[in-house]
Structure 1
Amino acid sequence: MTTSLPDRVAKPSILTVDDDPGVSRSVARDLRRQYGETYRIVRAESGPQALEALNEIKLRGEEVAAVLADYRMPQMSGIEFLEAAMDLFPAAKRVLLTAYADTDAAIQAINVVDLDHYLLKPWDPPEEKLYPVLDDLLASWLATDRQPVQQVRVIGHRWSSRSYEVRDFLARNSVPYRWYELADGECEARRLLTAAGEDGARLPVVVTPEGDPLIEPSDAELAARVGLSTTPSTDFYDLIVIGGGPAGLGAAVYGGSEGLRTVLVERLATGGQAGTSSRIENYLGFPDGVSGEQLTDRARRQALKFNVEILTTRDVVALEARGSARVVRFGDGTELAAHTVILATGVSYRTLDAPGLDGLAGRGVFYGAATTEGPSCAGSDVYLVGGANSAGQAAMYFARHASDVHIVVRADSLDRSMSRYLIDQIGEVKNIHVLPCTEVVGGTGAEHLETLTLRHNKSGEEQTVPAGWLFAFIGAAPRTDWLDGTLARDERGFVLAGPDLGIPPGWPLDRPPYHLETSLPGVFVAGDVRADSVKRVASAVGEGAMAVTLVHRYLERS
């Protein structure tokens, strides 16, 4: 039988891609015969062609119900294509068409791309081998809530630090929005302000999908009004994860998947510094690279799949033990308790200590990649400060938009701090220039950044250059002052754990701390905030998973 759809403006699509024209026509013919009255059947003969079709469907605001892809295709395999398609239409059902010899690969794809089904070729007769499978998948698709998210609208000044912060907050939390710059000739921005009863004196103004204007909203107000969760469903959990970077997301996924009542608490947005990376190419399982945004979004969806609660805009200011419970206190005075806690707060970029730059944050001076600014840099020179992977990844990204990208690094070269693959890539891009032995020692600007002063740290020579864009990736500040008197830390503020502690003073148990356990039993640490950790995404995820294993061991012996 065929599934039925309610009346709608445009038919949802079923897309099929196979590089064999005969097979491609055959599967499209069978699909049209059975589903053509209810669904639009889209046929492609390569992965890139199919992705182009999906992008067009996305721009039209239409839906895709199912995607069928051949496993063996040149340029892009069926698994690679389905992985990319999942980012565009995560609710679409995914089917892999495979020969008998590739059955093992199809089974592996179930985990890689959350495959819904695989079909062996040939599928004749379709009445027995094709239609029953698709009927079930389409019925399941129809039963899900796929209402498109209505768009948030943001009105503000181009060179307003708070307008930038709002846009960055929405982007990093995967909230779709449209930006309206209040400038000469921008009539729509003025119309929206008039409708909101504002004259532009108080900005930014955020219009919610329901049409409610928010005037100069705080992050917490913004989060609550655009559908992000800010309030826990209960007051006690098995596990509280503090921090939503790779380590925190890894811990949350493993905690939830292993049956622990888990809540993840994040101050700003999940992903941490890695979430702002334009391209991560050395993470296991992504041979073509993955953006920090994509990796974060998938991890967040995976955590939600395992019933993990994710709270945003909640700033943890204290941690204490109350009997067997571990209690965290938020900045607003409320509290949350659990049997165990994993600290995964990561590190923050240090600000540049150079005269003239203090008041220009968000107005030409940015800390981190700020990829939302990429298109705005078109035709301009961009300066990046830092020699680690985050700076290299940002250079590759901004080189696609900017006229020239200058990497300012204090060392003699990038060799000591950046991965070899990134150094090689940078060397092949003509508009990326490395400035070794160089520091930013000053800047000027009225409304926004206008000039930078650079100094060669060997010759002492200084030069002032015109610059409207500066992105800094320097240092690693753990921001753990709120743990004073609670947990043992090293001289730089990083949290000590396991063997680095020995037997800490006042340790109440008859065993030493577990490997990632802090000086407070039941509180563990993972990722960059741990003393002497490896500052890489993969190691952070691994530590998050390992911490959950130790949480289980702690609970079993408590």
Structure 2
Amino acid sequence: MANPAILTVDDDPAVSRAVARDIRRRYGDRYRVVRASSGDEALAALREIKLRGDQVALLLADYRMPQMTGIQFLEAAMDLFPTARRVLLTAYADTEAAIDAINLVDLDHYLLKPWHPPEEKLYPVVDALLEAWQASPPATANEVRVVGHRWSAPSFAIRDFLARNLVPYRWLLADEPEGAQLLAAAGVAATEVPLVVTVDGTALVKPTETQLAARVGLATTPAADFYDLVVVGAGPAGLGAAVYGASEGLRTVLVERQATGGQAGQSSRIENYLGFPDGVSGAQLADRARRQALKFGAELLTARDVVGLEAVGATRLLRFSDGTSIASHTVVLATGVAYRQLTAPGLAELTGRGVFYGSASTEAPYCAGEDVYIVGGANSAGQAAVYFARHARRVHLLVRGPDLRRSMSHYLIEQIERIDNIEVHPYSEVVGGRGTDHLEELIICDNRGGGQRTVKASWLFVFIGAEPRTDWLAESVARDARGYILTGSELANGSRRPAGWSLPRDPYPLESSLPGVFAAGDVRAESIKRVASAVGEGAMVVSLAHQYLAAQ
């Protein structure tokens, strides 16, 4: 197989030669640089590369080109090479178009012309994008195949798990020829799906997430019995704790029940996170943090459900659902929160079959030409609305209050107002749903006294607040009435230390009622529910863990 390609396209011959020259000078020994003078010519080159079975690592396209703009080219190129990193070349006057492209084609970066000197303005950007591309296996290699039914909740759960863990897979319908052939070869009836066929040809029928994780290369077993730091939960707070813990020399293991990123990992575009002026998807941010933690030596265990925590002398013991356990000096609880379930009649049985909690980005391509309903008025709902607007005919955003201003960031409200196919419905609430094998109708109530209306709908995505995942902690640490973990000064009753506190000092700011056990991020009582603050708490908690260890 030939070296992967870096393709540049610009209709200005001087600019085209300059960018190809600068790219070839630094990357020509490892990548094949392909230059095109129009979008059509570039797409023809990509089709030829695709037919040869080669890969494309990076696409750099000029914004202003006749017949086909750079944005239009990148959108078309995504169908051929969806994992290639995408860069838009633009003049200063066109930066607004570049920002719009971030949402339209999931742009990775935009570069202002001229980019001289390239050592400062071009190469650092390209280095980072190529590193990210290399860390993500191409979709055509090491491909897992999933066979299932379109409206099967277990099939959706498998696809969602693989997608959120960045495992390349191909989705095949059981009633289509290729899917039926795989079922026949595995001796599996169409009623027994989902079927997962791994890279080595192993057939897994209705696998659990733990079984699936072990077969697709995700680590599920700890390499040691004892650690300095165990982090439970791989959202922004947990990832931050793992990066800082491992980078500062602590033997660190990160335990995640489902996938890295948590709720933030499902965000289509986070635009107010420090250091990412062009925005970054939750999946990209989580992937970078995951790779960063692994680089420093942290272990990452996936599909492991922690069900108990106890103190055994100075040791903190965490028990898994399979009966095994892991021990450490310190623990960080960063389990985040789960979206609250809608209790309206008819929806529970349709979960995973048209009713989804979170963005469920795997479903977006199937929404083409249809109406999508989103419930919620906070940033997660707004980000989902912007994302699904790229695919759906119309996106209906249902909010219980009068508008979005109370709970959504100003930049996101402005963005939604500029997108023609997003419609905001104030004072609206879903009070019922109907369907046979999948969601077919929603019943929506107007809380201003406007009565109820029934609409045809196959897609409902719910973002209605959250509940902490802390029931498994039982009485091991103090929690507030809603289940959030109490830490630091919140534990004290007046000037007294928390009941059962065994140390002569007061609890550290993020320390729970069990010494050496800390909480960070959304699961902590009174925390600020933002990605940046969660990452900050994850970093801060490692410093506190060092203080705890030094005093032992």
CA pair 440-24 structure 1, distance change in 2 beyond 3 A = closer
1:532 aligns with 2:526: yes
Partner residue in 2 for 1:131: none
1:243 aligns with 2:233: yes
Distance in 2 (CA, whole Å) between partners of 1:305 and 1:395 is: 35
User: Once the two structures are superposed, what CA deviation does each residue of 1:504-546 show, in whole Å capped at 9, x if it has no partner?
Assistant: 1111111111111111111111000000111111111111011
Q: Secondary structure at the match of 2:337?
A: coil
> Which letter does structure 1 place at the counterpart of 2:507?
P
How many pairs were matched up? Answer: 508
Question: What root-mean-square deviation, in Å, do the aligned CA atoms of Structure 1 and Structure 2 show?
Answer: 3.8
Aligned mate of 1:543, from 513, 537, 541 = 537
Distance in 2 (CA, whole Å) between partners of 1:257 and 1:63 is: 33
Q: Secondary structure at the match of 2:468?
A: coil
Aligned mate of 2:299, from 306, 309, 321 = 309
Distance in 2 (CA, whole Å) between partners of 1:514 and 1:476 is: 26
Using structure 1 for the length normalisation, give the TM-score: 0.82
CA pair 46-504 structure 1, distance change in 2 beyond 3 A = farther
How far is the alpha carbon of 1:255 from its aligned partner?
A: 0.9
How far is the alpha carbon of 1:12 from its aligned partner?
A: 4.1
Q: Secondary structure at the match of 1:211?
A: coil
The correspondence of residues 362-381 of structure 1 with structure 2, limited to 5 A, is 362-381=352-371
1:40 aligns with 2:56: no
1:178 aligns with 2:159: no
User: Once the two structures are superposed, what CA deviation does each residue of 1:399-425 show, in whole Å capped at 9, x if it has no partner?
Assistant: 111111111111111110000111111
How far is the alpha carbon of 1:309 from its aligned partner?
A: 0.7
CA contact (8 A) 2:237 2:534 kept: yes
Partner residue in 1 for 2:439: 449
Aligned mate of 2:275, from 276, 285, 289 = 285
CA contact (8 A) 1:163 1:204 kept: yes
Distance in 2 (CA, whole Å) between partners of 1:365 and 1:202 is: 22
1:338 aligns with 2:325: no
CA pair 98-367 structure 1, distance change in 2 beyond 3 A = closer
The correspondence of residues 1-80 of structure 1 with structure 2, limited to 5 A, is 8=1, 10-13=2-5, 25=17, 40-43=32-35, 61-63=53-55, 74-75=90-91
Partner residue in 2 for 1:556: 550
The correspondence of residues 491-510 of structure 1 with structure 2, limited to 5 A, is 491-502=481-492, 503-510=497-504
Distance in 2 (CA, whole Å) between partners of 1:415 and 1:12 is: 46
Distance in 2 (CA, whole Å) between partners of 1:490 and 1:110 is: 45
CA contact (8 A) 2:139 2:169 kept: no
CA contact (8 A) 1:16 1:42 kept: yes
CA pair 413-28 structure 1, distance change in 2 beyond 3 A = closer
Q: Secondary structure at the match of 2:183?
A: helix
Aligned mate of 2:316, from 320, 326, 337 = 326
CA pair 511-163 structure 1, distance change in 2 beyond 3 A = same
Aligned mate of 1:463, from 434, 453, 456 = 453
How far is the alpha carbon of 1:42 from its aligned partner?
A: 2.6
How far is the alpha carbon of 1:72 from its aligned partner?
A: 12
1:166 aligns with 2:181: no
Partner residue in 1 for 2:421: 431
Distance in 2 (CA, whole Å) between partners of 1:113 and 1:39 is: 15
Partner residue in 2 for 1:130: none
Task: State percent identity of aligned pairs.
Answer: 62
CA pair 554-115 structure 1, distance change in 2 beyond 3 A = farther
Using structure 2 for the length normalisation, give the TM-score: 0.82
Distance in 2 (CA, whole Å) between partners of 1:267 and 1:414 is: 32
CA contact (8 A) 2:379 2:407 kept: yes
Q: Secondary structure at the match of 1:477?
A: strand
CA contact (8 A) 2:138 2:168 kept: no
> Which letter does structure 1 place at the counterpart of 2:484?
F
CA pair 468-56 structure 1, distance change in 2 beyond 3 A = farther
Partner residue in 1 for 2:338: 348
> Which letter does structure 1 place at the counterpart of 2:90?
P
Q: Secondary structure at the match of 2:307?
A: strand
Aligned mate of 2:479, from 469, 476, 489 = 489
User: Once the two structures are superposed, what CA deviation does each residue of 1:426-445 show, in whole Å capped at 9, x if it has no partner?
Assistant: 11112111111111111111
CA contact (8 A) 2:255 2:302 kept: yes
Distance in 2 (CA, whole Å) between partners of 1:207 and 1:512 is: 54
Aligned mate of 1:157, from 146, 149, 164 = 149
How far is the alpha carbon of 1:43 from its aligned partner?
A: 3.8
Partner residue in 2 for 1:122: none
> Which letter does structure 1 place at the counterpart of 2:173?
E
CA contact (8 A) 2:57 2:130 kept: no
CA pair 497-18 structure 1, distance change in 2 beyond 3 A = farther
How far is the alpha carbon of 1:59 from its aligned partner?
A: 8.8
> Which letter does structure 2 place at the counterpart of 1:363?
R
CA pair 159-23 structure 1, distance change in 2 beyond 3 A = closer
Q: Secondary structure at the match of 1:191?
A: helix
CA contact (8 A) 1:46 1:74 kept: no
> Which letter does structure 1 place at the counterpart of 2:359?
A
**Structure 1 segments unaligned to the other structure (5+ residues):** 1-7, 91-96, 117-140
How far is the alpha carbon of 1:451 from its aligned partner?
A: 0.8
CA contact (8 A) 2:139 2:168 kept: no
Partner residue in 1 for 2:78: none
CA contact (8 A) 1:46 1:73 kept: no
Q: Secondary structure at the match of 1:374?
A: helix
Aligned mate of 1:267, from 244, 257, 266 = 257
The correspondence of residues 394-413 of structure 1 with structure 2, limited to 5 A, is 394-413=384-403
Distance in 2 (CA, whole Å) between partners of 1:154 and 1:105 is: 42
Partner residue in 1 for 2:198: 208
> Which letter does structure 1 place at the counterpart of 2:227?
Y
Distance in 2 (CA, whole Å) between partners of 1:386 and 1:45 is: 45
Distance in 2 (CA, whole Å) between partners of 1:164 and 1:38 is: 38
User: Once the two structures are superposed, what CA deviation does each residue of 1:7-56 show, in whole Å capped at 9, x if it has no partner?
Assistant: x4x34446689999558647867998999899634346899x99998898
CA contact (8 A) 2:60 2:89 kept: no
Distance in 2 (CA, whole Å) between partners of 1:72 and 1:154 is: 34
CA pair 208-320 structure 1, distance change in 2 beyond 3 A = same
Distance in 2 (CA, whole Å) between partners of 1:59 and 1:322 is: 61
Distance in 2 (CA, whole Å) between partners of 1:182 and 1:415 is: 45
CA contact (8 A) 2:242 2:254 kept: yes
Distance in 2 (CA, whole Å) between partners of 1:421 and 1:61 is: 42
CA contact (8 A) 1:19 1:73 kept: no
Q: Secondary structure at the match of 2:246?
A: helix
How far is the alpha carbon of 1:458 from its aligned partner?
A: 2.5
CA pair 256-148 structure 1, distance change in 2 beyond 3 A = farther
CA contact (8 A) 2:398 2:424 kept: yes
CA pair 303-522 structure 1, distance change in 2 beyond 3 A = same
CA contact (8 A) 1:151 1:178 kept: yes
CA contact (8 A) 1:244 1:266 kept: yes
Distance in 2 (CA, whole Å) between partners of 1:507 and 1:68 is: 59
Aligned mate of 1:296, from 268, 286, 292 = 286
